[in-house]
Structure 1
């Protein structure tokens, strides 16, 4: 085993370990919540999850097709580029190549990857323009959102650079990779092409593995959490609330993070921060203090802060409802009572978050 392969194994294994440690920690956090049965009709749930995610119904049903288009391209861009990531990692380790698919499928896959990179670049330009020029009021421009767009830019740039130098070094010019071939013609006479090949390889792979480790710590956890959140969505009418048996229930309502269910926690991690709930909330649109997105985020931030204290037994749990010191993990009574219970937030949420039940429970 050469030093390149050894370094690749170490870096890849480290990223996987850090990723799964974070996922496991979040799973432990979920265990402090109340149980709720969302395992009925598993096949129906699974098939709907596949349909909704891979058809990107969440993007198509939005009345504004601008962000819907960009999200559609980003999603399918990841799906189509993922095989290249697999080959870049497993190729040097075990000699894996997608050539096992046969010539026609192999060429079709890499043609699709070259084409989707062009669309991703267009979608990136649209996303940057929307966030930093149009600036919709319901969309928050955080460092997190900028970093993700920046990382995606690096990923598509470096994969194109890597393929261009690979083509230039091999001296074989595949017509089924038009974008890579276009740039390969520019770098044919560049000295030290092998150096640049490895540079783009490690830059590309390093960015992807950093992305992998960063995802569970960021708002882009929805890339993972949205799948189970759609699977576990409420199949009953959107406005139907949980029945409370007053004679058997010791505590009514929610103020402690432990009063919520694991599905409430999952809502927080699955939130895409698209702001559709805020954009369509009649209370928010008429100047009331309620922002439905903040309800979801407050539960998430309360979980991330309080769960370690509860699990370690240190106590000092911060209530989620407060009429003072309002921050990212607390909600004021005024916000809760501004809700009209119209369920517009649920209707427009692309990942089927359930704002209304949380609001009524906290009331």
Structure 2
């Protein structure tokens, strides 16, 4: 009897009399709009296949992520992480920096969020005809109607967003998007367009049959239904469009993990786990406990480093902002991220099975040595990335492997490192001349002021550039005059000051960097220095953050 009731609909004696009230409540009986038992069996099988394809690929992706050998906890400062999740993940603050891309992405993103309720509701018709997503009631007013209106409006906006995206790729054709073929992006955009259009047409067929819930809250579907499109057989249209919508929806779900658009799932997660250390600070390596220096294989990265690959949207903003790339150097920050992802996908099975011998390393699959050396570590790529990917730390890790493990250093960098090692500055000028810039200014060294039993409020950290570069010496001299004019009691270290190790660290020679750092820390501790001021931004970053 239940199956017959779904096929033929309730009789006149069974039909409730107060149908108008039931329409308002969203419980109007569906009559001939119900699916058959065969439909239910078929859609169950289809959903099982689609969800299995999705689940298997997602399982592999997650399993590959956790092959990462480096531990990197990212659960600290939860209030800040939640704030970043909302600002950069949900409201996509960085995406909106480019208004055109920001508008189209916001339309599509919010369609995914708001239409989630309709996905559940429409799919449920195969199992519970007429079922509606429960919504709260405020002061006696049900939010079901506003939800339906929001779904219709966002569906139209999503269709507009897809049109804008296709126009951008095929007509505007910005250089930063021309790095990839169009096929994958076009397939995904067509899926989204098909899903939102089939949603609106399904609601319109429902309205044409007179069985739609709360038609006054579905003005777009009702307007479509008022045309002659569904005049012949609304029930057939309803069933056809229901199947169209469900097939498109779950086929898209099965396709996503196989494409670069897996970022739909991982990008928002990436914003929660973004790096909260000070901008520009490079992480220190424990050289005594480390078994390897830097990275040469993807599994040597942290799980967060691997997550970047799946979060990447391939928008090309990082490469477009890269000064090295802009001057024709072979550095492509975006390709570092996407090639890490592709290498992980290609080698993940072997890594999980422990069969890594003979597999190509990152310098073969991710980026060339020449491109890695071209990076200026300016962090423009990290700053521009809308999903908080971290390019520079990966480049530094690859450099550390080149320098400390493979012994590969560019000739021009070799001279600089040798100068730091012997004379404690990149220029190679005698370390005893570090304080000559201050001659005639009445600036005293910390040793001299302590010997004279004079109070010192601030130690002025001059840095290598202001000590040895003729043009930059003027900066130190001007700054010293300002301090004296302001009545600040300050001193310098003079010949006792050494390079902070910043150039060595950024080039990948962590051992030399830490040697310089330890020597400077010992000097500062010996004098009991409490306050330091620096005019060099590199020195300031190294002393404060590293």
TM-score range relative to shorter protein:
over 0.9
Higher deviation after alignment, 68-77 or 40-49 = 40-49
Higher deviation after alignment, 277-286 or 113-122 = 113-122
- 1:341 alignment partner in structure 2: 377
Whether contact under 8 Å (2:208, 2:231) holds in the other structure is: no
If asked which structure has higher relative contact order (CA below 8 Å, sep 6+), I would say 1
Query: For each residue in 1:285-330, what CA deviation from the matched residue of structure 2 results, as whole angstroms up to 9, or x when unmatched?
Result: 12111111001011111111111112234433211103xxxxxx33
Q: Give the drift of 1:73.
A: 0.8
- 1:46 alignment partner in structure 2: 82
> How many residues of Structure 1 are paired with residues of Structure 2 in the alignment?
355
Q: 2:250 aligns with which of 193, 203, 209?
A: 209
Query: For each residue in 1:60-95, what CA deviation from the matched residue of structure 2 results, as whole angstroms up to 9, or x when unmatched?
Result: 3x1x20111100111111112111111011233245
Matches within 5 A, 1:42-81: 42-60=78-96, 62=97, 64-81=98-115
Structure 2's unaligned 5+ residue stretches are: 4-36, 400-546
Q: Aligned partners of 2:93, 2:135: CA distance in 1, in Å? A: 33
- 2:329 alignment partner in structure 1: 288
Structure 1's unaligned 5+ residue stretches are: 323-328
Q: 1:274 aligns with which of 315, 338, 353?
A: 315
Q: Aligned partners of 2:353, 2:285: CA distance in 1, in Å? A: 31
Task: Give the 3 Å change call, closer, same or farther, for CA 169–138 of structure 1 in structure 2.
Answer: same
Q: Is 2:184 aligned against 1:144?
A: yes
Task: Give the 3 Å change call, closer, same or farther, for CA 350–19 of structure 1 in structure 2.
Answer: same
- 2:210 alignment partner in structure 1: 170
Q: Is 2:349 aligned against 1:308?
A: yes
Q: Is 2:44 aligned against 1:20?
A: no
Larger radius of gyration: 2
- 2:168 alignment partner in structure 1: 130
Query: For each residue in 1:225-279, what CA deviation from the matched residue of structure 2 results, as whole angstroms up to 9, or x when unmatched?
Result: 1122111110012322221122221211111122211111100000011111011
Equivalent residue of 2:255, what SS? helix
Q: Is 2:132 aligned against 1:97?
A: yes
Whether contact under 8 Å (1:276, 1:348) holds in the other structure is: yes
Q: Aligned partners of 2:235, 2:109: CA distance in 1, in Å? A: 32
Higher helix share: 1
Whether contact under 8 Å (1:226, 1:351) holds in the other structure is: yes
- 1:325 alignment partner in structure 2: none
Q: 2:296 aligns with which of 255, 261, 271?
A: 255
Q: Give the drift of 1:189.
A: 5.4
- 2:497 alignment partner in structure 1: none
Give the root-mean-square deviation of aligned CA atoms.
1.9
- 1:181 alignment partner in structure 2: 222
Task: Give the 3 Å change call, closer, same or farther, for CA 137–179 of structure 1 in structure 2.
Answer: same
Q: 2:282 aligns with which of 241, 251, 273?
A: 241
Whether contact under 8 Å (1:321, 1:333) holds in the other structure is: yes
Equivalent residue of 1:77, what SS? helix
Q: Give the drift of 1:100.
A: 4.9
Q: Aligned partners of 2:83, 2:250: CA distance in 1, in Å? A: 30
- 1:231 alignment partner in structure 2: 272
Whether contact under 8 Å (1:158, 1:203) holds in the other structure is: yes
- 2:483 alignment partner in structure 1: none
